[in-house]
Each structure stands twice: as structure tokens, then as C-alpha cells.
């Protein structure tokens, strides 16, 4: 859907399956007989407008592991603000929908400096935090964000 108009979405090749090639450093041993990998499906880079009103799905998927990326967590209150959390820097943008208790966690962040934007609803004011440093294999916690009308 774009500008309230629905458009059909097809794949470039007509394929219905997706193959993900994974390098040796893109998975982790979860248990002695199980491996784990994390996939980030980037919707904004995956839907491509090929001509006006015609779109194709060209999946853009990043593979990552917790040991080579960082995470960001926190809490946004009150829950009736229906907040959406956006974390971004010059090369990436990620989103989170907090739980009913306002808790959120965003994983797979590359090391660097990020900003956090809380898009609030229901008459509450939006909030922005800047200069949040993310380190590899670490969880960064931001102080509780209390939204006000």
C-alpha cells in the first residue's frame, strides 16, 4: 500500500522460495547439535518501484549474530501513547513496538552512535534521544522514557 492505494507485489523472477547464503561467521552454536542465525528482513529496501504504480519484491535480508552486533533496550510509558520506537544512524534504521508494559529491545545494531525517536500517539508528545553508543556484544539500556501530553 502506498498513499492509501493497494498495489500487487510480485517477485522479480516469479520464485516463491528464498535462499539465504550464510558465511561461517554469520551463525552461532546454540547447543552442541544446533546452530542459530538471525535474519533482518529490511522491508524499505526490499520493495522496489520499477515504474509508476508497479512494484516488485527483491528481498533484502541481513544475517547477523549477537556476538558481532549490539542491542538497545528500554521502556516507554505510558502505554496509552501507543509508542513506536525508531533507532537510526547514517546507515541503518530499525523499529520496535513496545510491550504493554512499555518495554522494547532492538537487536542486530552495528557498533556506532545512534539516535532514538519515539513516535507517540493519543495526544502525547514525540521524544528524541541522541548520542546513544552501541558496542559489539553489549546491551545498551536507555533510561525510562516518560511521555507527556
81 and 58 in one domain?
no
97 and 59 in one domain?
no
- Mean pLDDT, to the nearest integer, of 7-31? 79
How confident is the model at residue 7, as a pLDDT?
Answer: 87
Q: Evaluate whether residue 29 is within a structural domain.
A: yes
The residue ranking higher by pLDDT, 116 or 26, is 116
Nearby residues of 36 by Cβ (< 8 Å), 6 or more positions away:
27, 28, 29, 30, 65
134 and 74 in one domain?
yes
pLDDT tens-digit map of 51-74: 888 899 888 888 888 888 999 999
- Mean pLDDT, to the nearest integer, of 111-135? 97
Q: Evaluate whether residue 3 is within a structural domain.
A: no
130 and 90 in one domain?
yes
Residue 108, Cα to own-chain centre: how many angstroms? 8
Instruction: Indicate which CATH number applies to the domain containing 104.
Output: 2.60.40.1120
pLDDT of residue 41 exceeding 90, the answer is no
**Summary mean pLDDT of the chain:** 90
- Mean pLDDT, to the nearest integer, of 110-125? 97
How confident is the model at residue 52, as a pLDDT?
Answer: 87
**Among candidate residues 24, 48, 64, the one where a domain is terminated:** 64
Nearby residues of 131 by Cβ (< 8 Å), 6 or more positions away:
113, 115
Q: Evaluate whether residue 2 is within a structural domain.
A: no
74 and 52 in one domain?
no
Residue with grid cell 516507554, as numbered in its chain: 76
Q: Which domain holds residue 26?
A: 9-64
Amino acid at each position: 500500500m502506498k498513499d492509501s492505494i493497494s498495489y500487487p507485489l510480485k517477485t522479480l523472477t516469479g520464485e516463491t522460495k528464498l535462499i539465504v547464503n550464510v558465511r561461517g561467521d554469520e551463525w552461532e552454536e546454540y547447543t552442541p547439535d544446533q546452530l542459530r542465525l538471525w535474519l533482518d528482513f529490511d522491508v524499505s529496501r526490499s520493495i522496489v518501484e520499477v515504474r509508476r504504480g508497479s512494484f516488485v519484491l527483491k528481498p533484502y535480508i541481513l544475517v547477523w549474530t549477537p556476538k558481532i552486533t549490539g542491542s538497545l533496550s528500554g521502556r516507554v510509558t505510558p502505554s496509552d501513547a501507543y509508542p513506536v520506537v525508531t533507532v537510526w544512524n547514517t546507515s541503518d534504521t530499525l523499529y520496535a513496538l513496545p510491550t504493554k508494559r512499555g518495554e522494547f529491545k532492538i537487536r542486530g545494531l552495528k557498533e556506532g552512535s545512534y539516535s532514538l525517536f519515539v513516535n507517540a500517539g493519543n495526544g502525547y508528545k514525540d521524544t528524541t534521544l541522541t548520542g546513544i553508543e552501541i558496542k559489539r556484544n553489549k546491551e545498551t539500556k536507555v533510561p525510562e522514557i516518560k511521555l507527556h501530553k
